[in-house]
Amino acid sequence: MKNKYTILALVAALGVVSCQEKVPADVVGTMDAKVKDSVIVYEEYMGDEPTKPEETEFYEPKVPVVKPGEKGSAPSDAIVLFDGTSLDNWISTNDSTAAKWHLNKDGSMTVNDKTGNIQTKQNFGDIQLHIEWKSPLPVQREGQNRANSGVFLNGIYEVQVLDQNDNPTYVNGQVGSIYKQHVPLAMASVPTGEWNTYDIIYHAPEFNKDGGKIKSGDITVIHNGVLVQDHAEIKGTTPYVGWPKNPPHGKGPLMLQDHGDDSRVSYRNIWVREL
């Protein structure tokens, strides 16, 4: 028995050595953070401890000034994708012709059933997105067929839009989910017929030259002021059937879903800030 434990200890020790060889301390980490013996250290803070407050204060580079939006409007540096006046920034996903959704007099747009998804003409990478949506009254249908739409980041990763009020469905496909991938942390919808807000922060995945994913993207979603996705790792595309896939991609459009079942979902006040 003693010999057995000795061998196990040797194997374990060799494993540790081999791990350390694979991940040398000076390879893992960012500019100012490194992993040393599995612990994060900050080299910039490893010198002599400062004794004066000025030694830990800096003034450059300057921080850009952004004027916040008033009453829900876009901040000064945002790209406004929809302000209620036209659909000019959008095209039909199917054939790249003009978007065929309804433009309403109240400054919103509504899915035009079975005309297909619409997407922005402009492509984006990492973004902060603000978008407002409303599920219609009277309600009709159940589950995934009640006011189903979706916000597709990079054109392929869906944050679910659904009328969830008194309408149970699979939790990884409910409102605020990263569809079939991440259950939301909360159900934070307002009553049907009222306007919801999504504030979304999206970081795109990164791919190597051979098309392999080398860094996952992530999505944070705040639904009506409530955190429902917290840096959720994007594991791939968000299909209705099958596993997530990881096709390499660069920037892509923002896409809104026509679910094709008379969803009558409306959107308004859509803007992004590129990160």
Q: Which residues bind Mg ion (CB under 5 A)?
A: 148, 150, 257
Query: What is the smallest separation between the CB atom of 159 and Mg ion, expressed in angstroms?
Result: 9
Question: Which residue's CB is nearer to Mg ion, number 120 or number 148?
Answer: 148
Question: Which residue's CB is nearer to Mg ion, number 147 or number 188?
Answer: 147
Question: Which residue's CB is nearer to Mg ion, number 74 or number 151?
Answer: 151
Query: What is the smallest separation between the CB atom of 225 and Mg ion, expressed in angstroms?
Result: 22
Query: Contact 96/242 with Cβ under 8 angstroms?
Result: no
Token code pair at residue 227: 């955190």
C-alpha to C-alpha distances, 144 to 74, 81, 148, 266, 271, nearest whole angstrom: 31, 27, 6, 17, 27
Question: Which residue's CB is nearer to Mg ion, number 154 or number 257?
Answer: 257
How far is Cα 213 from Cα 247, in angstroms, rounded to an integer? 8
Q: Any residues with CB less than 8 A from the CB of 192 and at least 6 apart, and which?
A: 135, 136, 137, 139, 147, 163, 165
Query: What is the smallest separation between the CB atom of 145 and Mg ion, expressed in angstroms?
Result: 10
Query: What is the smallest separation between the CB atom of 164 and Mg ion, expressed in angstroms?
Result: 12
Question: Which residue's CB is nearer to Mg ion, number 78 or number 117?
Answer: 117
Query: What is the smallest separation between the CB atom of 158 and Mg ion, expressed in angstroms?
Result: 6
Rounded CA Rg of the chain: 24
Please tell me whether residue 204 adopts helix, strand or coil conformation: coil
